[in-house]
Structure 1
Amino acid sequence: MSWVILIGAGIMEVLMVIALKNSESFKNKKWSVIWFLLSLASLFLLSLAIKDIPLGTAYGVWTGIGAMGSVVIGMLFFGEKVSIQKIILITLIIISIAGLKLV
């Protein structure tokens, strides 16, 4: 169950980055509040996950999901350049997350 919670924390982090982008440097109050709530949700879920998952593993997976997710969201919805290098690096993050789960 802790791994499901950790994945949820990572997803909240990705959503938090989307809200941050839409907050326009915290000028848009609605998106700024959404960012704040998602930040709290992400950190709360991470805090639950580290009760059963080692801190280094949990943090690595959490940041990996956030990094990978934000790159994918950027390419799909914010017009960021798609490149083979990005795809390869995202794949390496996925492999790293799987490796952390296995060890």
Structure 2
Amino acid sequence: MAWISLIIAGLFEMFGVTMINKLQKERNWQSLSLLFLGFGGSFLFLAYAMKTLPMGTAYAIWTGIGASGGAILGMLLYGESKDWKRLVFIGMVLSAAIGLKLVS
């Protein structure tokens, strides 16, 4: 259950990062509320996962999901560069997170 919570925390992190971009474009209470919801959910599920998982592993995977997911969402939703080198490094971050799961 801790690993599922950690993945959910990473998805909330991705949502929160997306809401930062939305807040920059639309300064309103709805965008701000969604931003707090995203990061609040992220921290809540991360804290739950860290009751079982080692802090270093949980934090590394959480940030990996958030960073990679944020970059991928930027490419899909906001027209950011899809250069092959960028995709290789995103793949490296994800493979490192999977590696941490395998050795934990």
TM bin, normalised by shorter chain, reads over 0.9
Distance 1:69 1:45 in 2: 17
2:67 is aligned with 1:67: yes
Distance 1:25 1:43 in 2: 25
Deviations 1:48-84 (A, max 9, x none): 0001110000000000000000000000110101101
Which AA in structure 1 matches 2:68?
M
Distance 2:82 2:102 in 1: 30
Equivalent position of 1:100 in the other structure: 100
Equivalent position of 1:83 in the other structure: 83
Q: Point out where structure 1 has 5 or more consecutive residues left out of the alignment.
A: none
Please report how far the alpha carbon of residue 102 of structure 1 lies from its aligned counterpart in structure 2 after TM superposition: 1.2
Classify the secondary structure of the residue corresponding to 1:51.
coil
Equivalent position of 1:45 in the other structure: 45
Distance 2:39 2:56 in 1: 20
Large movers: runs of 4+ above 6 Å: none
TM-score relative to the length of structure 2: 0.94
Distance 1:26 1:55 in 2: 35
TM-score relative to the length of structure 1: 0.95
Q: Point out where structure 2 has 5 or more consecutive residues left out of the alignment.
A: none
Please report how far the alpha carbon of residue 27 of structure 1 lies from its aligned counterpart in structure 2 after TM superposition: 2.2
RMSD: 1.2
Structure 1 or 2: larger helix share? Answer: 2
Q: Per the alignment, do residues 82 and 54 of structure 1 end up closer, same or farther by CA in structure 2, a change over 3 Å counting?
A: same
